[in-house]
């Protein structure tokens, strides 16, 4: 079974500077709410949700960013998220995990996620993945 991870930037904030980011940052609040919903719904138990200090989206004007990552699958990077996007993110996680290569048709993106998708990155070739620490 492949490890599907949702990285949530905990320093993302539309109102706090990167240096001031703390538990009040919108990214951190998004992470806490995602973990709470996951804890109360076993449907999402196979998704590994992890915090990451910075996904560098704020340097290009976007705040509150997450990335869906899995070896040999497309990577999806969503930005400008709020707690209102949590259900859509978790629904997307199901589509992502069920897809063989991680590709989810744009028309299948739940709710408003299409407008929050910044980039979809091609899967890493298998030869490269076998030499990394996954």
Order the strands of the 66-69 sheet from edge to edge: 48-52, 5-9, 66-69, 75-78, 117-121
Q: Is residue 134 part of a domain?
A: no
Q: Is residue 37 part of a domain?
A: yes
Q: Is residue 21 part of a domain?
A: yes
Q: Name the pTM for this structure.
A: 0.83
- Residue ranges of the chain with pLDDT lower than 70? 1, 12-24, 58-60, 126-134
For residue 112, the domain's CATH number is 3.40.30
Domain that holds residue 69: 5-129
Which of 79, 62, 64, 81 lies closest to 27, judged by CA?
64
The tens digit of pLDDT for each residue in 17-46 reads 555 555 667 888 899 999 999 999 999 999
Which of 102, 79, 114, 93 lies closest to 34, judged by CA?
93
Q: Is residue 102 part of a domain?
A: yes
Q: Tell me how many domains the chain contains.
A: 1
Which of 77, 91, 81 lies closest to 13, judged by CA?
81
Q: Is residue 24 part of a domain?
A: yes
Q: Is residue 55 part of a domain?
A: yes
Give me the pLDDT at residue 23, please.
65
Residue 40 Cα to chain centre, angstroms: 19
């Amino acid at each position: 079974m492949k490890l599907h991870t949702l990285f949530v930037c905990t320093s993302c904030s539309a109102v706090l500077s990167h240096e001031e980011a703390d538990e009040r940052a919108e990214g951190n609040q998004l992470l806490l709410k995602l973990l709470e919903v996951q804890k109360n719904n076993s449907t999402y138990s196979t998704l590994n949700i992890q915090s990451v200090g910075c996904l560098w989206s704020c340097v290009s004007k976007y705040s509150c960013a997450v990335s869906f990552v899995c070896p040999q699958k497309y990577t999806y990077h969503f930005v400008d998220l709020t707690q209102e996007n949590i259900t859509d993110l978790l629904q997307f996680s199901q589509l992502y995990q069920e897809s063989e290569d991680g590709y989810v048709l744009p028309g299948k993106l739940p709710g408003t996620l299409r407008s929050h998708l910044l980039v979809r990155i091609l899967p890493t070739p298998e030869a490269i993945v076998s030499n990394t620490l996954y």
